[in-house]
Amino acid sequence: MSNDLHTGFDETKYPYINKGLEGIVAFSTTKSSIDGQSGELIYEGYNIDELAENSTFEEVCFLLWNDRLPSQEELDALQEKLQTRRELPQVIIDYLHSVNKKSNPMAVLRSAVSMLSESDIDLPDDSFYEKAINITAKMPTIIAAFSRIRSGEKMVAPLSEGSTAYNFLYMLNGERPGEQAEKTLDLCLILHAEHGMNASTFTCRAICATMSDMYSAVTGAIGSLKGPLHGGANTAVMNTLLELAEQGENADAVAFTKDKLKKKEKIMGFGHRVYKVFDPRAYHLQKMAKKLSEETGQERMYKWSMDMLNTMKSEKNIDPNVDFFSATVYYSMGIQPDLFTCIFAMSRISGWTGHFIEQAKNNRLVRPRALYVGEKNKPYVSISER
Ligand code: SDX
């Protein structure tokens, strides 16, 4: 039998290949715990529902970087550092003005964050906490600036006051956001901050484990999050809903969903490698999506979402994940769909850097094996005889 993987290699003969590392425990961590059967998510000992109710994104950043909640003084100090480090170096502003306006925002973010490393050139390599703050402070500015520049608008400089959520909406829209909009985005940032060994965090830790730098690890993580099977799903969810909207006000979301399933298409925003029940984050996002869609006259969008949700449950017994309702929330806030994954990234930077700090404290090179399925000892044939 040919060993060629592409001509019917029978992987079941090698059950020890866990495709996609499914079920493999490769690290120990205190950053978060995910129970896929009960739908429980815990950050550093605190249930996500408690944090959603009582915390802020900045407090969650401190928690993920220090393994504990801050005192008021410590939180104020972190806030002050984040507020005073939002400005971008000129080299990045020049890049944002020169890059192709049609570029994918996640590709622009990935390149800009990679360029950020030179702004920390005088920091000792192991200043992980300060670098985490610097990158977390600047990512929202990069995203908002590119969004405005590509639309022909002037960049809006960050304020030296206010939360990450407040400043992002201010820099994006050019006007100070209302309290509700700030609270909504802050809650989204809390919900997206950390999620165990997801693909982008694994990427970050694998790069950290070679003793490479935090900017390389975060650049790799952004590249991983960009994919539609991971963070890119929220933009894909919005594109699906907009595709449905093209069928008019009375579009049939149930038939639309069934048709896609019949064509063996993956419905973005549904399913999860770990959660086999409703993603606990989706509960909070669903509430926000319902409220915002009513306030902005987008009830149709929410109704279609519920029709899709019920169809996926009845047809495939598959539940929504974090990306499904976040799409409607961001859309109702007037944010452009191709920026949704960037918002995921400007939150998950806290989890990525938290894992980086944890990995660096107890490091071991990440290097799994691969089963060779090719031929062996083939005789070399000179090119004239091929
Ligand atoms: C995130 O890991 C994390 O924690 C990620 C994340 C985080 O916070 O970091 O939670 C964020 O990335 C959420 C996931 C966003 N991605 C999507 O919404 C893309 C759509 N979802 C699927 O591609 C899928 O559910 C994955 C990739 C998320 C998980 O897939 P698995 O674990 O590899 O499962 P699978 O693809 O093998 O599917 C198992 C079965 C298959 O059916 P059969 O072929 O066995 O009949 O379920 C079906 C799949 O076809 N299935 C779906 C589906 N998801 C799974 N069918 C239709 N639509 C879907 N969305």
Rounded Cα–Cα distance for residues 298 and 315 (Å): 26
Query: Are 299 and 357 in a shared domain?
Result: no
Look up the domain containing 264 and give its range: 233-332
Query: Are 139 and 247 in a shared domain?
Result: no
Q: Which residue puts its alpha carbon closest to atom 25 of ligand 1?
A: 271
What is the per-residue pLDDT for 128? Answer: 97
Q: 3-state class of 40 per DSSP?
A: strand
What is the per-residue pLDDT for 4? Answer: 40
275 Cβ inside 6 Å of ligand 1: no
Q: What residue spans of the chain are helical by DSSP H?
A: 48-54, 57-66, 72-84, 90-98, 105-116, 128-150, 164-173, 179-191, 199-208, 214-225, 233-245, 253-262, 280-295, 299-316, 322-332, 340-361
Q: Which residue puts its alpha carbon closest to atom 31 of ligand 1?
A: 273
Among residues 272, 279, 284, 307, the one annotated as catalytic is: 272
Give me the CATH number covering residue 258: 1.10.230.10
254 Cβ inside 6 Å of ligand 1: no
What is the per-residue pLDDT for 16? Answer: 78
What is the per-residue pLDDT for 41? Answer: 98
Q: Is residue 114 part of a domain?
A: yes
195 Cβ inside 6 Å of ligand 1: yes
Query: Are 318 and 246 in a shared domain?
Result: yes
Q: What is the pTM of this model?
A: 0.95
Residue from 35, 229, 281, 349 to probe ligand 1 pocket by mutation (most atoms less than 8 Å from CB): 229
Q: Which atom of ligand 1 is nearest to the CA of 266?
A: 58
Query: Are 187 and 205 in a shared domain?
Result: yes
For residue 267, the CA-to-ligand 1 centroid distance in Å is 9
What is the per-residue pLDDT for 3? Answer: 42
Q: Is residue 380 part of a domain?
A: no
Give me the CATH number covering residue 41: 1.10.580.10
Q: Is residue 345 part of a domain?
A: no
Q: Is residue 283 part of a domain?
A: yes
Query: Are 50 and 135 in a shared domain?
Result: yes
What is the identity of the amino acid at 108?
V
21 Cβ inside 6 Å of ligand 1: no
272 noted as active-site residue: yes
323 noted as active-site residue: yes
Among all chains, which residue has been given the structure tokens 């064509």?
Answer: 263
Could you list the pLDDT tens digit for every one of the 386 residues in the chain?
A: 444 444 456 667 666 788 999 999 999 999 999 999 999 999 999 999 999 999 999 999 999 999 999 999 999 999 999 999 999 999 999 999 999 999 999 999 999 999 999 999 899 989 999 999 999 999 999 999 999 999 999 999 999 999 999 999 999 999 999 999 999 999 999 999 999 999 999 999 999 999 999 999 999 999 999 999 999 999 999 999 999 999 999 999 999 999 999 999 999 999 999 999 999 999 999 999 999 999 999 899 999 999 999 999 999 999 999 999 999 999 999 999 999 999 999 999 999 999 999 999 999 999 999 988 899 999 999 999 99
Q: Is residue 319 part of a domain?
A: yes
Per the CB < 8 A criterion, the answer to whether 45 and 53 are in contact is no
Per the CB < 8 A criterion, the answer to whether 195 and 288 are in contact is no
β-pair type (32-35, 46-47): unpaired
Provide the domain count of the chain.
Answer: 2
Q: Residue 146 contacts by C-beta under 8 Å, 6 or more apart in sequence?
A: 96, 99, 105, 108, 109, 112
Query: Are 286 and 215 in a shared domain?
Result: no
Q: Is residue 183 part of a domain?
A: yes
